[in-house]
Amino acid sequence: MTAFIQAHADWVVPAALLLAFLKSLAFVSLVVPSSFVVAIIIALVKMGDVSIWPTWIAVAVGAALGDWASYVLGLRLKDRARHLWPFTRHPELMPRGERFFHRWGAMSVVLCRFFSPLRATVPLLCGMFEMPAWVFQIANWISAFLWAAVVLLIGEGVLHVFG
């Protein structure tokens, strides 16, 4: 596996972008644990001997695009989203995210990146409740780069200690 990744190191950064996008996409992010995604990204970076800087940018862009797609989905679905899986199976997710959104406003976009269950719902709710797009995007892009830096640095540190 290591030899394969090293031979295809050019794919590490695009793979990191795709993984971060999926991790941030509404609905998908509930079944794809972010700690698992980050561990895979860090492992790919280390095995592929890839610089952390392009990976940081790729992870941030992927995360921001995933949240943006979730926001647009919320704009399109509106209240119909409440009747879709996973909200039908886990009805507590929507009211919890809604309370969080109403309490924190644009800051909820920043904070939800760091709280797993909310990560899947807050960008969707921002669209459902028609948060102004420019407000959402500012919070989205700033928080994506902040989140990517934090998780990559923590992942790097953990790998250094235990790897």
The pLDDT mean for the chain works out to: 84
pLDDT tens, position by position, 58-100: 999 999 999 999 999 999 998 888 888 777 887 887 788 888 8
Angle CA 8–11–12, to nearest 5: 100
Domain boundaries, the chain: 2-162
User: In this predicted structure, what is the pLDDT of residue 5?
Assistant: 67
59 CB contacts (<8 Å, ≥6 apart)?
A: 16, 17, 19, 20, 41, 148, 151, 152
Do residues 17 and 59 lie in contact, with contact meaning Cβ atoms separated by under 8 Å? yes
Give the amino acid at 83.
Answer: H
In the chain, the percentage of residues whose pLDDT exceeds 90 is 36
Residue 57 reports pLDDT greater than 60: yes
Span 3-15, mean pLDDT? 78
Q: Which of 23-27, 56-60, 99-103 has the highest mean pLDDT?
A: 56-60
Residue 103's pLDDT is 92
Whole-number pLDDT of residue 117: 66
